[in-house]
Each structure stands twice: as C-alpha cells, then as structure tokens.
C-alpha cells in the first residue's frame, strides 16, 4: 500500500479536519452550491424547474457511473472500462428492443438484457483483477477495448430506433414529479443504505489495507469482484439513462465516461488510494462537472478559451478534492 | 439646387427608413463537437463570414459559437443551452447521427430551426445541408477504378470504425468496386482519420501486399499514405485518392502523384447557414427537394479535383497557408435557386 | 515476491527446475518470445511482414513509442503510484513547438530541439510540483494537466496547427544512416544505453530506485525525495517532447491530437517491460521490448483482413493474455 507521511503542516484546525474526514463530500457540496449560484447569475433561467430538470437529465448518466466507480476505487482498484461498458450495454439494449418488436415487454426485456450485460462485464473485470491478480489499470483498459469491439460488432454503426415512449418517459413526470428526480432520489437512498451495510465497511477496510484485511479473514477476493460487478451494474444503469436521453444506439457513445467518472470521484473527496471517501461526494462531483460546462457556456467566453478554462477549473477542483481526502 | 438636394436627402432618408423597416435580426447558434482538425476551424470561420455577409442584404445575423471537444452528451448540452437562450436557429456538426432526436424534438417544440451539416441526422425535426458522404466516396472510387482501367488490387484506409460518415463512405466505395469485376479489394484498414496512423498503415500494407495497384483513402490520412508511398519509391506505379489541403496540393504538383480528390468543403456550414436564414426569412422550400436515407437532406454539389481542373485549384490555393482546405460555399442566391421556390 | 522465496517454500523437486523457470519468467524472455510469435504469425498470414525493410519500418514506429515510454518508465519507477497521463498532449505540444520554430529550415533544427525540450521539461516540472508540493496523486495531477494542455493547445493553434519539419529531420527519421538503420533507431538505441546507465550507474538512478521501493527509508537516509520525484516528472515531459520532435520528422507536419494515441500504450509498454506499477522494480530495456511487441501487434492486426470490431477484440484479448505472464500482483498471504 502507499505510505503517506503524516501531515504536520496542515492548514486546517484539527476539528475542521475531523469534519472533512467524517464527511468528505462537504467540499463537493460547497463547490456545487457556489457553482449553482454562479450559474444562476449567468443564466437567469437556471433556477426554473424545467431547466433544472433538463440539466439533471443530462447529468444523470455521469452521476450513475461515478457512483459505481466510487466503490471500485474505495477498494483501492480502478475501472477504466466503464465507458465502454456503457457502449456495449447501450447497443445491447437498443438491438434487443428492436429485435423483439418494440413493445412494452420488449423494452423491459431490453433493459434486463442491458443490466445483465453490465453485470457480466463487471464480473469479467473482477475475475481478471481479483482472481488472476492482473494490474487494474492495464487490465480494465484491455477489457474496455474488448467491450468496445463487442459493441461495434453488435451494432456496426449508430442507429436503431427506440420507441418514443422511452425518452418521453425519461423527460417526463410520474405522479407530478419528474422521472429524473425519482431516479436521483433512488440513487441517494441507495447510497445512504449501502453505506451502512457490513459489506461497505469491509470494502473500505480492503481498500485501506488489503493485506491486513486479508489477515482478518475478510473475503478480499470476493469483495473486490463484487465492487467491479457493482461498477458494471451502475455503468449499465447509466447506459439506460443515456438511452432515455438519446433514444438510439451508438457503439461509439460512452468512451469519455471512463476518465470523467474518475474525475468526478476525486472531486467528491474519495481517495484514489482507497479506504476513504464515499459515493455521495462522487454524485456531487458529477453534477459539478456538468455545471462547469454550463457556466463556461453562459459566461460567453470566446470559444477558443473554453476548453482551457474548463481544464483549469477542473484541475483546481481536483486539487481541492484531493486536499479533502488527505489523511 | 437646394430643392434638388433636399429632395435627394428626403429620398435617401426614406430609403434608409424603408430598408430599416424590413431589416431583420436573427440569432443563430453554431455547434461543433470536435476541434482536432483545421477543417473544422475553417468550417466555423467560413460560417461566421457568411453570417456577416448577410448584412449586405439588410439582414443582421448574430452568431454564437460553441466549438470545443465534447462527447455526445456535451453536445446535447450545447443544444439545450441554445434552446434555453432562445436562438432562432441551430446549425450543428453532430457527433452522432441518432442521439439528438429527442433534443431536436424539444428544439422544434420551442420553434427553433435545426440544421445539421457534414453528418446526417435521423431526426425528423432537423434538416441536413451538406454533401452526400456516400456519393463523395463513390465519386473518388469511380475515379480510382477508371484510372486503373477496371482491373487491379486495391486497399482501403478508413476513418473511425462505427462513425456514420465513415460507414457511408465505406458503403459507397464497396458499391462502386462491386461493379468492377476486375477490381479486387484485398484489405480494409482503420486509421481513425489520423495522418500518422494513415502513414503507418500504408507502410505495413506496402510491405505485406507488395503488388497493390491502388489505394482508396480519405482526408488527412491520404497525406500520410502518400508520404509512405513516396518513401517506398512507388509514386510512379500506385494510384491513390488524395485530399484537399493546400500543402498536399503543393506536393501533388511537385511529386507528380497520380491522384484525385473529391472535395468535402469546409464551407458546408456556411451553406447551411445561408439556407437557414432564407428559411427564417420565410422562403418556402421546393416540393420533393429532400433526399437521403432519413428523408431530410438537401445535398450540395461535390467538386472533384483531378488533373483537368488542377491548375485552377493550384491558383486558388496560391499563397494560402498549408492547412487551408479547398472550399466552396453555396451563397444565398445559389441556395435559393437550388432548394427554394 | 521473488521467485526464490516462493520456491523455497516448496519441494526440492521444484528447486531442481528453478533456474529454467527463472529464465522463462523474465520479462525480456517473454517479450522476445512474443516478438518472434508475432513475426512468424505475420509472415504466414501476409508474406513480407517479417521482411527486413518492413521490420525496420515497424521498429521506427516502435522507437517513437519507446521514447515516450522512457519518460513514463522513470515516473513509474519512482513509485508512489507514479504515472503520467499527460504525455499525449505533451507530445503534441512538443511537435507544435518544434514545427513552428523549424518552419522547414535545416538551420533551425538545433534551436527547435532545445526549445521543445525546455518547454516540455517545464510542463513536466509543473506536474512534479503538483505531486510533491501539493501532494496531489500523480494520476489526478496528470489527468488535470491533460485537460489544461488540451485546452492550451486549442487556444494556441485555434484548431489550426502550423509548422513544418525540416528536410534533415525527416531524413533522420526515415532514411538509413548506419548499417541500413534509420537515424532514429540509432538515437533510440543510444537513448536506451543512456537511460540504463542513468538508472544503474548514477547516484540519481539509485535514488530513483530508493524512493520507489521505500520512500520513508529513502528520506531517512537523506535522499531528496521531493526534488528527485519532481525531476522524474520533468524528464517524462521532456521525453514526450523529444518524441513529439521526432514524430514531426515522421509525419512532416503537426496536427492536433497527434500524440494522444501514445498515452496508454506507453503505460502498457512499461508494464510489459517488467516494471512494476508500484515502483522500485524494473528497467528501460524491458520497456523497449514492450514497445516493440505492442507495435508489432498493431501492425499484425492491420494486415489481417478482418472487421474492425474483430481487430479490437483480438487486441484487447492479446493484452490480457500477455498479462498472464507479466504484471501479476502479489498473492495475499495470511
């Protein structure tokens, strides 16, 4: 495991540091509030419910995949293949729905097939990393390429029609509450409940010191495989959200999510070394990334400067996230 | 004299006021999702210039530009932001042909005209103004086949696998070559529109398929491929398609390549903008003018550069920087004739 | 875990075969076998693949990757999860500076090289400072820097890179110089010798291994950990810049994104060379072999007439297969 030298030159008082350790997401929440204020100033319509909901709808895929990535990183591993899991699940869902005729039952079957694919992909990753003991970075890069190839094989070019009811539902409301808000609530509930399980505690222990965890008879291998399966599952859910947003299959969609999800996780205060942090921070981290893009648009910077501005802000935010996660 | 000058002044003022009464202002949002190539930058520049040129016709066209490396979601966010800002039209070079259907439906519901360019989109709520990518490929493939006299071994070097423009082009050349029984397509490789990868791929192919006669290759990869051909000393006996940048045209002349290039002009976005303004001004489109697999395409003519027109092309790019691409813009009058009643 | 300690716990019968197994496990041996395998397979599938001229051409491409991988190798050796994700953009920056300073003139080659190396070294130092002073993990710091570099490149070029390679540089990369080998291969071999000497025979090299193996112990024995690690990142940037310089010679002009394809392969080459991603173990010669294996694999897939999806799946599967022999991590012990 890595060894950090103790920080005696900390700039925070010890009580404030304690706060961050217990609640690593606080910084992310703070940045989120700050960015929302800036966004509201630059874009007056930002706080209108319809606009807020449509923003949330486009942030949802990254939120989902970042949450899944958190659990892998907590275990001190990493998953670079999530973007390509999204690609392959996306094409599986769309082709299955089309093949089965596009009825309500076909849609559900397609969704189920997609989730199964995500779980299977996570299982492959978990087996390679935890059982065969391959190095996570190179391995998930390699499996990512395989998933991308499979996606391309299933659907050689973008297409496939998904029934309009899918995207209308995603953009619509149930019982007066927008569907994406229901999804957000479900994710929040999951994060809260899951954090209190024994599995989660074991996960954090594995990430903190894998050798020690093994010696206390924790089933380390099984825990690591499970974390990859969860990551695959959430990547599949993210793909479903994308289908809701784009209503089509595209084998090239998704690649960028791998690095973005890692960025969101770090922004949220989870340590890359494992053992510290949580998915709530990653959720806010994902929203922050989306808000940064919006702010830069509405600040009306000349377009040559936009990528650079985005990169600088993200670097700053990353530094902040790391600072919070520090022991 | 005084009365004449007063009359003239009154006439001038009346004219200005009358024109002022008809002066219209539109806001158009441009969205480009990839900045990796000079072609895209030239595309934006020519579109902005076309917008400014409308002032001569008394129409003010304000342009907002979003040009950054974004994934599909990021580009959907562009469109969403434009909708929230309340633009009159959106011109987009989309990163996916199908992912924008829902957001374009929302744009249409908000009364915004959406036109895609360079890549067709499946949305029934959007138009496409640009070249036919399949036809683009068929043109240069036909040139290649004829130049080879209908027989020979041919290799293709393609862009990103799965990318819709690439797939259409592949369909195009495969269809053409199928019509020439003497042409054998021995391999198809992807070099992802990267010049260096095109060069590497060509090197490998030359070594392992030593007796090929022709190469079908697209865009910047053609430059790389031709460098590899030069390197192998086979400029004299290989025929390959080329590309449209000024520096390639210069080497074409210098080295005496046997090449030809169909032109995908960066000016397509400018042409799309002109069509957009005409439509915003209320001009009706002709009946039955739409083509393409999605039924929403207004195809622009595709220029072709071969030895015949080469001297004109050389003159046109004279003095231009190396990265400048041969371009063509369909101006308002030409667009009116082609597509409108 | 060394082979010796693992074997000593087993039976004597196994001990008898230990030396042979020891050779087989060595990364260079595996790389050598992989190279032979790919060349043979390639020659069978597409005669001409293993012809001397083609091998040389593939080695030239491998050299470009190998130069980037040298910097990546140093950063990884330094431990503390060292990695540099910004090398791709740094390569493009290097090529851009070189091309713009050179503008096609032979006389400007030396100045272009110095300018390129200086700027990219500086960029690397920024990474190093972020890692050592601000104590941001390398993956995060270089990931953030990657975004900043991409944005800067777009701004600098406004989407339109300019700059051209001088004739002499292009010749250096492409044309045979000594023994029929192009200049770049000579440069790469020389670089290999230099880096290996640096690692094995200099104080600096010893320090690298020290901080990579046990940072606390190194610090206690007086090794200037922060400065050493910062220099490693600086060198990584510099090697990326050098690669960009030669890539300019290879392609003749610059285009945005020219370096992106080298980022992850540079990491894989280091892993296939036997260097552990945890740091402290490994060397550059193995990485050179890793770069060659990767390049050969890419070329083999090019010659096979199969679907692009098939190529991707085979590439990923081959990487996983090779991982069986390299980069397996420690078994946990109770």
Dump pLDDT digits (tens) for C31-56: 888 899 999 998 888 888 888 888 88
Alpha carbon distance A138, C199 (integer Å): 24
Find the CB nearest C140 among A128, A210, A272: A272
- Could you report the per-residue pLDDT of B161-182, keeping only the tens digit for each? 888 888 889 999 999 999 999 9
Taking 80 as the threshold, does the pLDDT of residue C1 lie above it? Answer: no
Task: Name the residue among A92, A167, A60, A257 with its Cα closest to residue B123.
Answer: A167
CATH number at residue A88: 1.10.3470
The residue range of the domain holding A298 is 14-325
Taking 50 as the threshold, does the pLDDT of residue A176 lie above it? Answer: yes
What six digits make up the tokens of C175? 């044309």
Tell me, yes or no, whether A97 lies in a domain: yes
Which architecture, in CATH terms, is B133-262?
3-Layer(aba) Sandwich (3.40)
Whether the CB-CB separation of B219 and B197 falls below 8 Å is answered with: no
**Regarding predicted confidence, which is higher, C220 or C10?**
C220
Whether the CB-CB separation of C78 and C203 falls below 8 Å is answered with: no
Taking 50 as the threshold, does the pLDDT of residue A2 lie above it? Answer: no
pLDDT of residue A46: 85
Contact assignment for B167 to A247 by CB distance below 8 Å: no
Q: What is the mean pLDDT of residues B122-144?
A: 92
Q: Which of 235-264 (A) contact C at CB < 8 A? A: 259, 262-263
Interface contact A216, partner C, CB < 8 A? no
Contact assignment for B194 to C308 by CB distance below 8 Å: no
Domain count across chain A: 1
pLDDT of residue B220: 84
Query: pLDDT-derived band of residue A165, with 50, 70 and 90 as boundaries?
Result: confident
* Residue ranges, CATH 3.40.50.2300, chain B: 8-131+265-303+326-339, 133-262
Tell me, yes or no, whether C142 lies in a domain: yes
Q: 3-state class of C283 per DSSP?
A: coil
Q: Classify residue A257 by its DSSP letter.
A: H
Residues in chain B: 341
For A57, residues 6+ apart whose C-beta sits below 8 A from its C-beta are A170, A171, A180, A244, A245
What's the ipTM? 0.84
The CA distance from A73 to the nearest CA of chain B, in Å, is 24
Tell me, yes or no, whether C116 lies in a domain: yes
Tell me, yes or no, whether C322 lies in a domain: no
* pTM exceeds 0.95 for this model: no
B36 half-sphere exposure, CB direction, 13 A CA radius:
16
B114 forms bridges with which residues in the sheet?
B90, B126
Tell me, yes or no, whether A8 lies in a domain: no
Taking 90 as the threshold, does the pLDDT of residue B322 lie above it? Answer: no
Contact assignment for B194 to C53 by CB distance below 8 Å: no
Q: What angle do CA B227, B199, C173 make, to 5 degrees?
A: 70
Taking 70 as the threshold, does the pLDDT of residue A14 lie above it? Answer: no
Q: 3-state class of C229 per DSSP?
A: helix
Tell me, yes or no, whether A278 lies in a domain: yes
The CA distance from C104 to the nearest CA of chain A, in Å, is 27
The residue range of the domain holding C237 is 64-286
Tell me, yes or no, whether A9 lies in a domain: no
B8-131+265-303+326-339: CATH, from 3.40.50.2300, 1.20.1290.10, 3.40.50.11900, 3.30.70.1170 = 3.40.50.2300
Average of per-residue pLDDT values in chain B = 87
Burial A132-144 (b: 16+ CB within 10 A, else e): ebbbbbbbbbbbb
Task: State the DSSP string of A58-72.
Answer: HHHHHHHHHHHHHHH
Average of per-residue pLDDT values in chain C = 85
**Regarding predicted confidence, which is higher, B26 or B207?**
B26
The CA distance from C35 to the nearest CA of chain A, in Å, is 19
**Regarding predicted confidence, which is higher, C163 or A177?**
A177
Domain count across chain C: 1
Tell me, yes or no, whether C15 lies in a domain: no
Q: 3-state class of C231 per DSSP?
A: helix
Q: What is the mean pLDDT of residues A101-119?
A: 92
Q: 3-state class of A307 per DSSP?
A: helix
- Could you report the per-residue pLDDT of C140-169, keeping only the tens digit for each? 899 999 999 999 988 888 766 777 777 778
Contact assignment for C148 to A319 by CB distance below 8 Å: no
Taking 60 as the threshold, does the pLDDT of residue A3 lie above it? Answer: no
């Amino acid at each position: 495991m890595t060894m950090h030298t103790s920080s005696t030159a900390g700039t925070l008082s010890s009580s404030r540091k304690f706060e961050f350790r217990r609640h690593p997401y606080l910084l992310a929440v703070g940045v989120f509030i700050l960015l929302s204020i800036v966004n509201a100033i630059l874009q007056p319509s930002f706080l209108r419910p319809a606009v807020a909901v449509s923003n949330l709808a486009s942030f949802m895929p990254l939120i989902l995949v970042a949450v899944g990535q958190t659990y892998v990183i907590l275990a001190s591993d990493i998953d670079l293949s999530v973007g390509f899991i999204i690609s392959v699940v996306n094409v599986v869902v769309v082709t299955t729905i089309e093949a089965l005729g596009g009825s309500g039952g076909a849609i559900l079957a397609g969704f189920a097939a997609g989730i199964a694919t995500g779980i299977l992909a996570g299982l492959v990753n978990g087996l390679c990393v935890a059982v065969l003991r391959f190095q996570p970075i190179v391995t998930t890069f390699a499996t990512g390429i395989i998933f991308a190839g499979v996606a391309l094989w299933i659907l050689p070019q973008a297409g496939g029609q998904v029934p309009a009811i899918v995207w209308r539902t995603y953009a619509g409301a149930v019982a007066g509450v927008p569907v994406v808000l229901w999804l957000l609530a479900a994710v929040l509930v999951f994060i809260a409940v899951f954090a209190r399980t024994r599995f989660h505690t074991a996960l954090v222990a594995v990430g903190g010191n894998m050798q020690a965890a093994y010696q206390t008879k924790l089933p380390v291998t099984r825990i690591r495989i499970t974390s990859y399966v969860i990551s695959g599952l959430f990547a599949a859910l993210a793909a479903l959200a994308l289908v809701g947003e784009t209503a089509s299959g595209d084998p090239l969609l998704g690649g960028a999510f791998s690095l973005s999800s890692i960025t969101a996780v770090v922004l949220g205060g989870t340590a890359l070394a494992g053992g510290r942090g949580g998915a709530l921070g990653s959720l806010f981290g994902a929203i922050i990334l989306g808000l940064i893009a919006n702010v830069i648009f509405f600040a009306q910077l000349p377009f040559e400067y936009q990528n650079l501005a985005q990169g600088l802000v993200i670097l700053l935010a990353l530094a902040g996230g790391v600072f919070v996660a520090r022991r | 004299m005084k009365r004449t000058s007063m009359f003239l002044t009154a006439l001038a003022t009346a004219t200005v006021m009358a024109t002022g009464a008809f002066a219209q202002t539109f806001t158009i949002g441009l969205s480009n999702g990839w900045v990796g190539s000079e072609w895209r930058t030239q595309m934006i520049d020519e579109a902005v210039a076309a917008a400014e040129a409308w002032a001569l016709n008394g129409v003010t066209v304000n342009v907002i530009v979003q040009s950054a490396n974004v994934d599909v979601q990021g580009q959907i966010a562009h469109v969403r932001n434009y909708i929230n800002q309340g633009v009159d039209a959106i011109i987009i070079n989309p990163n996916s042909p199908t992912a924008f259907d829902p957001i374009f439906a929302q744009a249409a519901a908000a009364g915004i005209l959406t036109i895609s360019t360079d890549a067709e989109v499946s949305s029934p709520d959007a138009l496409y103004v640009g070249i036919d990518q399949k036809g683009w490929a068929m043109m240069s493939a036909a040139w290649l086949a004829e130049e080879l006299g209908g027989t020979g071994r041919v290799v293709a070097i393609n862009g990103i696998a799965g990318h819709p423009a690439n797939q259409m082009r592949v369909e195009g050349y495969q269809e053409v070559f199928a019509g020439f029984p003497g042409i054998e397509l021995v391999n198809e490789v992807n070099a992802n529109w990267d010049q260096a990868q095109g060069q590497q791929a060509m090197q490998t192919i030359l070594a392992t398929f030593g007796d090929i006669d022709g190469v079908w290759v697209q865009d910047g990869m053609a430059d790389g491929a031709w460098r590899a051909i030069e390197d192998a000393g086979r400029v004299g006996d290989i025929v390959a398609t080329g590309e449209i940048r000024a520096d390639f045209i210069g080497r074409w002349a210098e080295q005496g390549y046997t090449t030809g290039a169909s032109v995908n002009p960066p000016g397509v976005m400018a042409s799309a903008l002109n069509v957009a303004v005409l439509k915003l001004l209320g001009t009706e489109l002709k009946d039955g003018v739409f083509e393409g697999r999605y039924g929403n395409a207004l195809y622009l003519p595709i220029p072709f550069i071969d030895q015949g027109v080469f001297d004109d092309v050389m003159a046109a790019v004279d003095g231009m920087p190396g990265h400048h691409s041969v371009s063509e813009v369909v101006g308002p009058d030409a667009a009116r004739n082609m597509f409108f009643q | 875990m060394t082979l010796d300690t693992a074997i000593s716990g087993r039976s004597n019968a196994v001990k008898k075969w230990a030396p042979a197994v020891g050779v087989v496990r060595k990364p260079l041996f595996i790389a050598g076998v992989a190279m032979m395998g790919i060349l043979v397979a390639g020659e069978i599938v597409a005669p001409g693949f293993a012809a001397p001229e083609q091998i040389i051409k593939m080695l030239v491409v491998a050299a470009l990757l190998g130069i980037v991988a040298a910097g990546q190798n140093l950063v990884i050796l330094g431990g503390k999860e060292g990695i540099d994700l910004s090398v791709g953009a740094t390569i493009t920056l290097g090529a851009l500076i070189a091309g713009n300073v050179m503008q096609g003139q032979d006389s400007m080659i030396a100045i272009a090289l110095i300018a390129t190396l200086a700027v990219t070294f500086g960029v690397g130092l920024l990474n190093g400072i972020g890692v050592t002073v601000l104590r941001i993990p390398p993956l995060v710091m270089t990931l953030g820097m990657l975004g900043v570099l991409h944005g800067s490149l777009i701004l600098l070029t406004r989407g339109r890179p300019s700059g051209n390679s001088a004739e002499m540089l292009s010749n250096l990369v492409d044309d045979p110089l000594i023994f029929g080998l192009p200049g770049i291969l000579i440069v790469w071999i020389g670089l290999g010798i230099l880096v290996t000497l640096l690692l094995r025979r200099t104080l600096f090299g010893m320090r690298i291994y020290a901080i990579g193996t046990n940072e606390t112990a190194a610090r206690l024995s007086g090794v200037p950990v922060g400065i050493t690690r910062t220099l490693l990142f600086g060198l990584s940037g510099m090697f990326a810049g050098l690669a960009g310089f030669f890539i300019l010679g290879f392609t003749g002009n610059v285009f945005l994104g020219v370096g992106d394809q080298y980022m992850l392969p540079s990491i894989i080459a280091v892993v296939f060379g036997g260097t552990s991603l945890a740091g402290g173990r490994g060397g550059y010669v193995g990485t050179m072999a890793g770069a060659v294996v990767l390049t050969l694999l890419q070329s083999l897939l090019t010659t096979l007439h199969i679907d692009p999806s098939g190529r991707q799946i085979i590439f990923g599967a081959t990487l996983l297969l090779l991982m069986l022999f390299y980069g397996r991590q420690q078994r946990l012990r109770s």
